[in-house]
Amino acid sequence: MNIPFKTRITDLYGIRLPVIASGLMWLAEPVYVAAVARAGLIGFMTSASFPDPAALRAGIRKCRELSEGKPFGVNIMIRVSRDGTDRVTPLIDTVIDEGVKYVETAGNNPEAYLKRLKDAGIIVLHKVPGVRYAKKAESLGVDAVTVVGAEAGGHPGIEPVGTMVAAAAAVRAIRIPLIVAGGIGTGAQMVAALAMGADGVAMGTRFLVSEEIWAHRKYKERLVAAGETDTTLLLQSMRNTQRALKTEHVAMIQQLEREQADTKTLLPHIMGPIARKAYETGDYEQAMLSCGQGVVFADKIEPLAAIVDRLEAEARAAMDRLHYIYRALPQAAAGRAT
């Protein structure tokens, strides 16, 4: 395998570029994740997108079949359901039983489930919205962490910190392999993260316009037309900050928050099935759809492999620029001395 960039993350997963395709609620299913694998990256199917463990099991088997022996994983949200049902353990039972080698955890502290995963030989990547959470995850024994910056789609934390600052701070604090995320959608940004000391980057929004994502083309065309200011933060009142595409539905939720609506009033408008329906129909204005500021880089609907090829070309060009600048420094110094 041609490995143009070698880091602890490419070694950990056996991938050719240090890029993780994080779990995408409703969208990270077998066809997409397998396309990520075939392109030389690693992606994670979102277990919460499946109606039950049996459906997840079928999804894992389909993804394994389509991945042509390349690595893939499963994203498991660590959470307490509102009715008290333990929905995490059955998912972990399934991934262990199916021999999944890689898991991405997110949400709450994974400590209660970590020993079972590790005893099964599973590599665990935990995604967090801040450095202090990354340090905690490291102390628990996860294999790698993803630190998410404020520019990210989804949940950047209750006190979002910009990706450049979060990445630089995490590099100083974390010793295990470190992935940074939030607004990253180009190969040049990947090189910048590596230069700061990270081992890789995670992308989500950038891949939403890939042909393998099953969502309606009308939704993807909206993303292609979007700029870096077409997302917004909401749900701060619930201490569950989310970055989403600006839509009529999102504006309505923000108005409710300004009116100090309680959680019971907000919940019907933020339930997952609303987003799934919008992906199916293309009526994006009537939903809250996670989207990062990196949507500005999602400029064309094309195969996932073509996006990855562009990322690599951008990264190589960035490395060439750095090499030229570094090589020119002694000459510039000599010129100033004469």
Query: Does residue 117 sit within a domain?
Result: yes
CATH number, domain of 184, equals 3.20.20.70
> Among residues 135, 303, 283, which one has the least CA distance to residue 209?
303
pTM for the model? 0.93
Query: Which of 286, 304, 328 is the endpoint of a domain?
Result: 286
Query: Does residue 328 sit within a domain?
Result: no
Q: Which whole number is the average pLDDT over 297-312? A: 98
Query: Does residue 308 sit within a domain?
Result: no
Query: Does residue 149 sit within a domain?
Result: yes
Q: Are residues 126 and 234 in the same domain?
A: no
Residue 79 has pLDDT above 60, yes or no: yes
Q: Are residues 92 and 224 in the same domain?
A: no
Residue 334 has pLDDT above 90, yes or no: no
26 is in which domain, residue-wise? 8-203
- Report which residue type is found at 257: E
Q: Are residues 229 and 104 in the same domain?
A: no
pLDDT digits (tens, 9 = 90+) for 193-221: 999 999 999 999 999 999 999 999 999 99
Q: Are residues 26 and 126 in the same domain?
A: yes
- In this prediction, residue 336 has a pLDDT band, given cuts at 50, 70 and 90, of low
Q: Are residues 15 and 128 in the same domain?
A: yes
Q: Are residues 163 and 230 in the same domain?
A: no
pLDDT digits (tens, 9 = 90+) for 218-262: 999 999 999 999 999 999 999 999 999 999 999 999 999 999 999
Q: Are residues 27 and 159 in the same domain?
A: yes
> Among residues 69, 187, 70, 76, which one has the least CA distance to residue 125?
76
C-beta separation of 198 from 178 below 8 A: yes
Residue 333 has pLDDT above 70, yes or no: no
Q: Are residues 242 and 177 in the same domain?
A: no
Q: Are residues 65 and 148 in the same domain?
A: yes
Across the chain, what does the average pLDDT equal?
94
Query: Does residue 39 sit within a domain?
Result: yes
Q: Are residues 146 and 14 in the same domain?
A: yes
Q: Are residues 113 and 254 in the same domain?
A: no
Q: Are residues 197 and 245 in the same domain?
A: no
Query: Does residue 324 sit within a domain?
Result: no
Query: Which of 264, 286, 308 is the endpoint of a domain?
Result: 286
Query: Does residue 330 sit within a domain?
Result: no
Residue 332 has pLDDT above 60, yes or no: no
Query: Does residue 249 sit within a domain?
Result: yes
- Other CB atoms within 10 A of residue 152 CB: 33
Number of domains composing the chain: 2
